[in-house]
Amino acid sequence: MPASDLSVNPTSQTSFECSNCRTTTRRFWGEIVENAQTQAVYYVTWCKQSSEHYPRFDLLIGSWGDNTSADDRHLVAVEFRVVAGEPSFMVIDAQIDRYRPLASMALRRSDVIGTPDQSRVFDMVDAIWFGDWLIEEMHSDTAKAARNS
Ligand SMILES: [Zn+2]
Protein backbone atom coordinates (compact mmCIF):
# COMPACT_ATOMS: atom_id res chain seq x y z
CA MET A 1 0.00 0.00 0.00
CA PRO A 2 1.15 3.54 -0.64
CA ALA A 3 2.86 5.02 2.40
CA SER A 4 1.97 8.60 1.55
CA ASP A 5 -1.12 10.78 1.37
CA LEU A 6 -0.78 11.04 -2.38
CA SER A 7 -3.74 10.03 -4.48
CA VAL A 8 -4.12 9.70 -8.22
CA ASN A 9 -6.74 11.00 -10.63
CA PRO A 10 -6.34 9.05 -13.86
CA THR A 11 -7.38 11.35 -16.69
CA SER A 12 -7.27 9.46 -19.94
CA GLN A 13 -5.32 7.24 -22.28
CA THR A 14 -4.47 7.09 -25.94
CA SER A 15 -2.53 4.85 -28.30
CA PHE A 16 -0.44 5.53 -31.37
CA GLU A 17 2.46 4.05 -33.32
CA CYS A 18 5.78 4.34 -31.48
CA SER A 19 8.39 6.27 -33.46
CA ASN A 20 11.13 4.03 -32.06
CA CYS A 21 9.90 0.47 -32.23
CA ARG A 22 6.90 0.84 -34.57
CA THR A 23 4.59 -1.15 -32.34
CA THR A 24 1.59 0.39 -30.60
CA THR A 25 2.37 2.74 -27.73
CA ARG A 26 -0.18 3.15 -24.98
CA ARG A 27 -0.06 6.40 -23.09
CA PHE A 28 -1.87 6.97 -19.79
CA TRP A 29 -1.95 10.26 -17.95
CA GLY A 30 -3.43 11.88 -14.91
CA GLU A 31 -2.59 13.95 -11.88
CA ILE A 32 -1.16 13.25 -8.45
CA VAL A 33 -2.95 15.07 -5.68
CA GLU A 34 -2.17 15.74 -2.03
CA ASN A 35 -4.30 17.89 0.30
CA ALA A 36 -6.50 18.86 -2.68
CA GLN A 37 -3.46 20.29 -4.47
CA THR A 38 -2.02 18.92 -7.69
CA GLN A 39 1.55 17.86 -6.94
CA ALA A 40 2.41 16.46 -10.36
CA VAL A 41 1.00 15.44 -13.71
CA TYR A 42 2.20 12.09 -14.97
CA TYR A 43 2.42 10.34 -18.31
CA VAL A 44 3.02 6.60 -18.58
CA THR A 45 4.28 5.41 -21.96
CA TRP A 46 4.13 1.71 -22.65
CA CYS A 47 4.91 -0.29 -25.79
CA LYS A 48 3.40 -3.57 -24.72
CA GLN A 49 4.69 -5.58 -27.69
CA SER A 50 8.20 -4.17 -27.64
CA SER A 51 11.22 -5.62 -25.93
CA GLU A 52 13.35 -2.72 -27.22
CA HIS A 53 12.51 -0.33 -24.45
CA TYR A 54 10.90 -0.29 -21.04
CA PRO A 55 7.70 1.46 -19.99
CA ARG A 56 8.42 4.95 -18.72
CA PHE A 57 6.71 7.02 -16.04
CA ASP A 58 7.28 10.74 -16.66
CA LEU A 59 6.47 13.01 -13.72
CA LEU A 60 5.98 16.75 -14.14
CA ILE A 61 6.47 17.81 -10.54
CA GLY A 62 5.70 21.22 -9.11
CA SER A 63 2.91 23.76 -9.01
CA TRP A 64 -0.05 23.53 -11.38
CA GLY A 65 -3.05 25.73 -11.96
CA ASP A 66 -3.64 29.44 -12.22
CA ASN A 67 -0.62 31.71 -12.21
CA THR A 68 1.85 28.87 -12.73
CA SER A 69 4.13 28.26 -15.68
CA ALA A 70 6.66 25.74 -16.97
CA ASP A 71 9.23 27.41 -14.70
CA ASP A 72 7.36 26.06 -11.67
CA ARG A 73 7.77 22.45 -12.75
CA HIS A 74 10.49 19.93 -13.47
CA LEU A 75 10.50 16.59 -15.23
CA VAL A 76 11.60 13.32 -13.65
CA ALA A 77 11.63 10.09 -15.68
CA VAL A 78 11.34 6.63 -14.14
CA GLU A 79 11.73 3.39 -16.04
CA PHE A 80 9.64 0.38 -15.17
CA ARG A 81 11.15 -3.11 -15.21
CA VAL A 82 10.26 -6.50 -13.91
CA VAL A 83 13.14 -7.80 -11.79
CA ALA A 84 12.85 -11.35 -10.41
CA GLY A 85 9.10 -11.22 -10.95
CA GLU A 86 8.63 -7.98 -9.04
CA PRO A 87 7.77 -4.58 -10.49
CA SER A 88 10.79 -2.35 -10.14
CA PHE A 89 11.31 1.35 -10.84
CA MET A 90 14.54 3.10 -11.79
CA VAL A 91 15.07 6.83 -12.14
CA ILE A 92 16.70 7.64 -15.50
CA ASP A 93 17.93 10.88 -17.08
CA ALA A 94 14.80 12.74 -18.20
CA GLN A 95 14.52 14.26 -21.68
CA ILE A 96 12.64 17.54 -21.78
CA ASP A 97 11.86 17.52 -25.56
CA ARG A 98 8.13 16.95 -25.83
CA TYR A 99 7.41 18.28 -22.34
CA ARG A 100 8.99 21.68 -22.91
CA PRO A 101 5.70 23.59 -22.90
CA LEU A 102 4.81 21.99 -19.54
CA ALA A 103 8.11 22.02 -17.64
CA SER A 104 11.30 24.01 -17.97
CA MET A 105 13.84 21.61 -16.57
CA ALA A 106 14.61 17.88 -16.87
CA LEU A 107 16.37 16.20 -13.97
CA ARG A 108 19.04 13.57 -14.45
CA ARG A 109 19.18 10.44 -12.37
CA SER A 110 21.97 11.99 -10.29
CA ASP A 111 19.74 15.02 -9.56
CA VAL A 112 17.25 12.73 -7.84
CA ILE A 113 19.00 9.70 -6.37
CA GLY A 114 20.50 10.39 -2.96
CA THR A 115 18.60 13.68 -2.57
CA PRO A 116 15.52 14.48 -0.46
CA ASP A 117 13.49 14.32 -3.71
CA GLN A 118 14.17 10.61 -4.09
CA SER A 119 11.55 9.26 -1.69
CA ARG A 120 9.00 11.75 -2.98
CA VAL A 121 9.51 10.49 -6.54
CA PHE A 122 9.11 6.86 -5.49
CA ASP A 123 6.00 7.72 -3.43
CA MET A 124 4.52 9.28 -6.57
CA VAL A 125 5.35 6.27 -8.74
CA ASP A 126 3.87 4.04 -6.07
CA ALA A 127 0.69 6.12 -6.02
CA ILE A 128 0.35 5.74 -9.79
CA TRP A 129 1.10 2.03 -9.75
CA PHE A 130 -1.54 1.33 -7.09
CA GLY A 131 -3.98 4.13 -7.90
CA ASP A 132 -4.38 4.29 -11.67
CA TRP A 133 -6.89 1.68 -12.80
CA LEU A 134 -5.81 2.28 -16.41
CA ILE A 135 -2.53 0.61 -15.47
CA GLU A 136 -4.23 -2.60 -14.30
CA GLU A 137 -3.20 -4.30 -17.52
CA MET A 138 0.44 -3.56 -16.76
CA HIS A 139 0.00 -5.39 -13.44
CA SER A 140 -1.25 -8.54 -15.14
CA ASP A 141 1.55 -8.27 -17.70
CA THR A 142 4.00 -8.22 -14.79
CA ALA A 143 2.40 -11.31 -13.31
CA LYS A 144 2.79 -13.05 -16.67
CA ALA A 145 6.46 -12.07 -16.89
CA ALA A 146 6.96 -13.45 -13.39
CA ARG A 147 5.47 -16.81 -14.35
CA ASN A 148 7.66 -17.01 -17.44
CA SER A 149 10.91 -16.16 -15.70
ZN1 LIG B 1 8.13 1.72 -28.69
Per-residue model confidence as pLDDT tens for the chain (149 residues): 445 799 999 999 999 999 989 999 999 999 999 999 999 999 999 998 887 889 999 999 999 999 999 999 999 999 998 888 888 999 999 999 989 999 999 999 999 999 989 999 999 999 999 998 888 888 877 777 767 66
In a domain, 138, yes or no: yes
Report the separation in Å between the CA atom of 17 and the middle of ligand 1, taken as the mean of its atom positions. 8
Quote the distance between the C-alpha of residue 5 and its chain's center.
18
Chain center to CA of 68? 21
Residue 144 lies in a domain: yes
Q: What is the number of domains present in the chain?
A: 1
Phi (first) and psi of residue 134, to 5 degrees: -70, -20
Q: Range of 79's domain? A: 7-148
52 C-alpha vs ligand 1 centroid, how far in Å? Answer: 7
Query: Is 32 inside any structural domain?
Result: yes
- In angstroms, the CA 34 to CA 32 distance is 7
List CB contacts of 135: < 8 A, sequence separation 6 or more: 28, 44, 128, 129
Please indicate, yes or no, if residue 98 is contained in any of the structural domains: yes
Would you say residue 64 lies in a domain? yes
CA-CA distance, 5 to 27, in Å (whole number)? Answer: 25
> Residue 55 C-alpha to ligand 1 middle, in angstroms?
9
∠80-45-106 over CA atoms, to 5°? 80
* 0.95 surpassed by pTM: no
Spacing, Cα 79 to ligand 1 middle (Å): 13
In a domain, residue 1? The reply is: no
- Confidence (pLDDT) at 51: 78
Q: Work out the angle at residue 100's Cα, subtended by the Cα atoms of residues 89 and 128, and round it to the nearest 5 degrees.
A: 30
Ligand 1 ion: nearby residues, β-carbon < 5 Å: 18, 20-21, 47, 50
How many Å lie between the centroid of ligand 1 and the Cα of residue 140?
19
Instruction: Please indicate, yes or no, if residue 2 is contained in any of the structural domains.
Output: no
